[in-house]
Structure 1
Amino acid sequence: MLDNIKIFDTTLRDGEQTPGVLITSNEKLKIALKLDELGVDVIEAGSAITSKGEQKSIKTITENNLDAEICSFARPVKVDIDTALNCDVDSIHLVIPSSDLHIQYKLRKTREQVEQMTVNATEYAKSHGLIVELSTEDATRTSMDDLKRLYNLGIEAGADRLCACDTVGLLTPEKSYDFYKELATLSRPVSVHCHDDFGLAVANTLMALNAGAQQAHVTINGLGERAGNASCEEVVMALETLYHIDTGINTKLFYEISHLVETISGVTLQSNKAIVGENAFAHESGIHADGVLKKSETYEPIKPETVGHRRRFVLGKHVGKHVINEKIKETNTQVTEDELDRIFKRVKSLSDMGKTVTDVDLQTITDDILHINPEDSLILEEYTTVSGNKVTPTASVKVNINNKEKIEAGVGVGPVDAAIEAIQKSIKDTADITLEEYHVDAVTGGTDALIDVLVKLKHEDKVITARSTEPDVILASVEAYLKGVNKILTDDKKMRK
């Protein structure tokens, strides 16, 4: 593997092609600025020909004079290249269908016509000062002879880089190595662009780089069409940790940019997502947690701080006493061995009943064992919600925060969202708390079923869990949120003592 691997990020183009994802101009700029801070070499900011809005987005990014090369996707036609030029990009990702399947059924042209289009487009772009990355679509279903002929024509016309796309994710790691090793013999640097239809995009990308490819096309969180693209954070961390290649990427920003992209795209990460998922550094098993507390390398391949993440211990039926003690210590509370034994038994008892033991549950059990009666900092005195057909869901709340009364109102996509929004407004001057996750389950059947709501709230670098069970989903949601907020405020008071 070469030691000067480049990272080409296409979150804003291929990533935005994820079904249901639409990123506004301001949001694209936010992501581009963070990608530049991350240190990627190329940012594919979009496809300029798509729309006036897309052109505005790309132009806004280029006007910020980022360190990264700014690129636009383009077809091998003059209008695409001209539109990209008007956006002041540094380069174009010139994509040419290369397989018989695509040429015959999509383009309805001959191979000779496609080759001439490639030459004409490359020469035109180069004559206007653009860097050209000549990319073949469906390359992995194209004969190697046809592929090399097309690339060589592009090289003669002035192409600076070459890219071969595994458009529908058909490579295996073995095939990827052989395929890109053959292309690495060409006289221009080669990029690898893999899709994740069979869950092999990262593995195929790494094998291509092992074979001599010099640049990896990736997206944050693996966003992309269908099953997505190769994940930026997974490819980079594999290069850095497993292959000991210095990519020049500021890996400490991965967790931050991952959650920025998650928030903007609306595509929720699975909790067990490698590197940046909420459970990537979470431990429940007593044996694992004990090992991590003694030496993190026992059950963590990298330190969470390396990617800007944090370690988390989860309370469940596999939890050990030492983890419970650590969680209690986090709140500046000390317990004796006997008190810890009693708390441990209560937690295990709840777990054996099939319940998720939240941070609030542990605090309640601990306070009960220690005979502590804490006063809530936030008390809900009144709340009302209004929703219905052709009515914007609204909510108003009256709360008491540290003996001060506040009244706020909020709107949302539904009454629960509106109620949470109103409470968030009421505490914004007290603590910066965000709702990270929200889960609802019906505990019993029927229209009068008990509703169990579990929430995860984030304050600074800490995430806490809370729950409430009520027949009314709005009340259960509000109570769970209030419990979480009170847990955070109580912990803050204890830490300041």
Structure 2
Amino acid sequence: MNRLHICDTTLRDGEQAPGVAFSTKEKAEIAIMLDLAGVEQAEIGIPAMGEAECRSIARIAALGLQMKLMTWNRAVFSDIDAAESTGVDWAHISVPVSAVQMKAKLGMTPVQVTELIRKSVDYGLCKGLTVSVGFEDASRADDLFLEQLANQLYRDGIRRFRYADTLSVHHPDAIAARIGRLVSRVPQGVELEIHCHNDYGLALANTLAALQAGAVWASTTVSGLGERAGNTALEEVVMSWRDLYKGTCSVRPELLNPLAALVSKASNRVIPEGKPIVGDMVFAHESGIHINGLLKERSAYQALDPTELGTDHSFVLGKHSGRSAVQYMLEQEGIKAGPDEIKFLLERLRLVGEDPKWVIYSKDLKHWLEHYPAELSN
């Protein structure tokens, strides 16, 4: 229960974010970094998109990475043929399971969808592929239909299922109840993967709730890249599961920042400064109370140790800074200042911190002190 397995879909679902398209070279670089970071499995593309996509997938397959690779496919024989041609031996087959999607997308009844996915699974298995099945829009599917379908596919040889909150309509209590029920009504050998979208900002919370309820795989993307509001962020679920749920995971925290930077560059998506785990300013402190506490004891105002992520705390100055912060920043510049000078600097900080709203660094304090006598006399 405490072991978290990651199936990262940055190269598939992440690339479906509007305006994002990775080159073959970028895909290979991201795959290599995911592998180095300890990700166990990656979903690396959609073979049915054509020859260029198949070549990109085949190039990744030829890298000899340690992590398992999978392709995403519809329940269509030609999709599975294309998947086989890439050299990737794991085919994930996705099928709509909610009444609205079965009717709107396929024009089928639940009985017909069951027949369709069973035939597709059999076709893939007969080709020697490892097959997993994705339940698209599972969050709006009928409970009994999901259970019956999963049990039938288990009898057909499937051991891994992806429960997709495709439209992000679950909240943590609801997804925990759904996953708990499903896990309790399928054979013990079933491995359930949770795939959440983030339209309401609940992808991480929903993923953690599903894992606690019995799912063992988390579907993620680096920095949450993906359609609409994105997916569950790899770095957030890895660190939350380890620190808050006391679980284990093979992903290496020190490579989360370089991985996020690589995907940011390839996707041309800027990482927000306040992005949890990998944002530039998430370990920066301005408040005088916080800095004073951190200088005395690092754990006073930071539960997450930034050194594990290859970074460290940083102090900046602004209108909320206090005497300890100013004195510390001056010491970093080798400057000794008396009480009157520090008072002068604090008053200056209160003014410039509001307009033009900038972050103040030690070099600014040094510059102000150089003009201190003249300004004081005024």
Classify the TM-score, shorter chain: over 0.9
User: Measured at CA, do residues 356 and 210 of structure 1 come closer, stay the same or move farther in structure 2, by a change above 3 Å?
Assistant: same
In the other structure, the counterpart of 2:302 is 300
Residue 334 of structure 1: how far off its partner (Å): 2.7
1:275-304 C-alpha deviation (Å, 9 max, x unpaired): 111221111110011111211211111111
Q: Deviations over 1:219-264 (max 9, x none)?
A: 1111111111111111111110001111121011112211221121
Q: Give the structure 2 partner of residue 337 of structure 1.
A: 338
Note closer, same or farther for the CA distance 1:352–1:126 as it changes in structure 2 (3 Å cut): closer
SS at match of 2:263: helix
Gaps of 5+ in 1: 372-497
CA drift at 1:133: 1.5
Counterpart CA distance in 1 for 2:301 and 2:282 is 11
Between Structure 1 and Structure 2, whose CA radius of gyration is higher? 1
Q: Distance in 2 between matches of 1:60 and 1:327?
A: 50
- Where is the strand percentage greater, Structure 1 or Structure 2? 1
Change (3 A) 1:295 1:193: same
Aligned pairs (5 A) from 1:73-222? 73-185=72-184, 186-187=186-187, 188-222=190-224
SS state at 2:353 partner: helix
Measure, in 2, the Cα distance between the counterparts of 1:352 and 1:71.
51
Task: Describe how 1:46-445 pairs up with structure 2 within 5 A.
Answer: 46-185=45-184, 186-187=186-187, 188-331=190-333, 333-338=334-339, 339-359=341-361, 360-368=363-371
Query: Over residues 179-233 of structure 1, what are the superposed CA-to-partner deviations in whole Å (9 max), with x where a residue is unaligned?
Result: 0011213121111111111111111111111111111111111111111111111
1:112 & 1:119 partners in 2: Cα distance?
11
Tell me the amino acid that sits aligned with residue 78 of structure 2: V
8 Å Cα contact 1:8-1:43 kept in structure 2: yes
Please report the RMSD computed on the Cα atoms of aligned residues, expressed in angstroms: 1.9
SS of 1:169's equivalent in the other structure is coil
The AA in structure 2 aligned to 1:336 is A
Length, aligned pairs only? 369
What is the TM-score normalised by the length of structure 1?
0.71
1:128–1:367 distance in 2 versus 1, CA, 3 Å: farther
State the 1:341 CA deviation.
4.2
Give the match's secondary structure for 1:5.
Answer: strand
Structure 1 stretch displaced more, 192-201 or 127-136:
127-136
Give the Å deviation of 1:172: 1.0
**Helix, strand or coil at the partner of 2:132:** strand
- Specify the alignment match of 1:436 in structure 2: none
The 2-side partners of 1:322 and 1:133 are apart by 57
Mark the runs of 5 or more structure 2 residues left unpaired by the alignment.
none
Query: Partner amino acid for 1:132?
Result: V
Judge conservation of contact 2:17–2:225 (CA < 8 Å) in 1: yes
Deviates more, 1:145-154 or 1:17-26: 145-154
- In structure 2, relative to structure 1, the CA distance for the partners of 1:90 and 1:309 (3 Å cut) is farther
Q: Identity over aligned residues, as a percent? A: 35
- The C-alpha deviation readout for 1:1-45, integer Å capped at 9, x for no partner, is x02221110111111111111111111111111111111111111
Match of 1:184, SS? helix
CA distance in 2, matches of 1:201, 1:12: 18
CA distance in 1, matches of 2:312, 2:253: 14
- Indicate the larger mover: 218-227 or 153-162: 153-162
The equivalent of 1:418 in structure 2 is none
Larger RCO: 1 or 2 (CA < 8 Å, sep 6+): 2
Instruction: Indicate the structure with greater helix content.
Output: 2
User: Is the 1:9–1:217 Cα contact (8 Å) retained in structure 2?
Assistant: yes
Question: In the TM superposition, what is the alpha-carbon distance from 1:368 to its structure 2 partner?
Answer: 4.3
CA 1:303–1:116 in structure 2 vs 1: closer, same or farther (change >3 Å)? same
